[in-house]
Amino acid sequence: MTRQYELVERVLSYQPTADEAMLNRAYVYAMKAHGNQKRASGAPYFSHPLEVAAILAEMRLDDATIATALLHDTIEDTDVTRGEIDTLFGAEIGTLVDGLTKIKKLDLVTKKAEQAENFRKLLLAISSDIRVLLVKFADRLHNMRTLEHMEPAKRKIIAEETMDIYAPLAGRMGMQWLREELEDLAFRWLNPNAYVTVVERLKILRVGNQGLIDEIEGELTTKLKDAKVKGVVGGREKKPYAIWSKMERKQISLEQLSDIYAFRIVVPKVPDCYHALAVVHTTWHVVPGRFKDYISNPKQNDYQSIHTTIVGPRHQRVELQIRTELMHSIAEYGVAAHALYKDLEDKKGKNSKNGKGEVPSQDSNAYRWLRHLVGMLLDSDNPEEFLEHTKLELFQDQVFCFTPKGRLIALPRGANSIDFAYAVHTDVGNTCVGARINGRPMPLASALRNGDEVEIMCSDAQEPPAAWQNLAVTGKARSAIRRATRDAVRAQYGDLGREILDRAFRRSGKTFSEESIGEALGRLSQKTAEDVMAAVGRGELASADVMRAVFPEEGPQEPPKRRRKVKRTDEGWFGLRKVMGLKFRLPGTSGRGRPEGAGGIPIRGLRGDLPVNFADGGAVPGDRIVGILTPGQGITIYPIHADALKAFDEEPERWIDITWDIDEDDPGRFPAKIAVTAMNEPMSLAQVASVIGEADGNIENIKMTNRVADYTEMLIDLEVWDVQHLNEILAGLRAKDVVSSAARAEY
State pLDDT tens for residues 626-678.
888 876 677 888 888 888 888 888 777 678 777 777 766 667 788 899 999 99
What does the radius of gyration of the chain's CA atoms come to, in whole angstroms? 35
Whose CA is closest to 721, among 592, 612, 617, 605?
A: 592
**Distance, CA of 279 to CA of 276 (rounded, Å):** 5
Helical residues (DSSP H) of 175-305, grouped into ranges: 176-190, 192-208, 212-226, 240-250, 270-283
Is residue 177 helix, strand or coil? helix
Of the residues 62, 76, 107, 487, only one is catalytic, namely: 76
In terms of pLDDT, which residue wins out, 189 or 168? 189
Q: Is 77 a catalytic residue?
A: yes
Residue 369 has pLDDT above 50, yes or no: yes
Domain ranges of the chain: 4-193, 209-333, 366-484, 486-554, 573-744
Residue 194 has pLDDT above 80, yes or no: yes
Q: Is 19 a catalytic residue?
A: no
The end-to-end CA distance of the chain, in Å, is: 68
Per CATH, the number for 573-744 is 3.30.70.260
Residue 371 has pLDDT above 90, yes or no: no
Of the residues 58, 62, 77, 657, only one is catalytic, namely: 77
**Distance, CA of 369 to CA of 475 (rounded, Å):** 12
Residue 44 has pLDDT above 80, yes or no: yes
20 band by pLDDT with thresholds 50, 70 and 90:
very high
622-636: per-residue pLDDT in tens? Answer: 888 888 887 667 788
Q: How many other C-beta atoms can be found within 10 angstroms of the C-beta atom of residue 307?
A: 16
Please give the mean pLDDT across all residues of the chain: 78
**Which residues neighbour 30 within 8 Å (Cβ) at sequence distance 6 or greater?**
46, 49, 50, 70, 71, 73, 74
Q: Global pTM?
A: 0.53
**Distance, CA of 169 to CA of 176 (rounded, Å):** 10
CA 466, 469, 475, 476 dihedral sign is negative
**Distance, CA of 97 to CA of 91 (rounded, Å):** 10
User: Domain 4-193 is of which CATH architecture?
Assistant: Orthogonal Bundle (1.10)
Predicted local distance difference test score (pLDDT) of residue 386: 52
In the chain, % of residues over pLDDT 90? 23
Over residues 108-119, the mean pLDDT reads 49
Residue 592 has pLDDT above 50, yes or no: no
**Distance, CA of 557 to CA of 551 (rounded, Å):** 10
Ranges 139-148, 161-170, 320-329, 385-394: which has the least confidence: 385-394
209-333: CATH topology is Beta Polymerase; domain 2 (3.30.460)
Residue type, 520: A
Whose CA is closest to 69, among 164, 160, 142?
A: 142
51, 142 Cβ separation under 8 angstroms? yes
**Distance, CA of 121 to CA of 388 (rounded, Å):** 15
304, 331 Cβ separation under 8 angstroms? yes
Predicted local distance difference test score (pLDDT) of residue 578: 28
* Same fold? 366-484, 573-744: no
User: Domain 366-484 is of which CATH architecture?
Assistant: Roll (3.10)
Overall size of the chain counted in residues: 747
Predicted local distance difference test score (pLDDT) of residue 269: 92
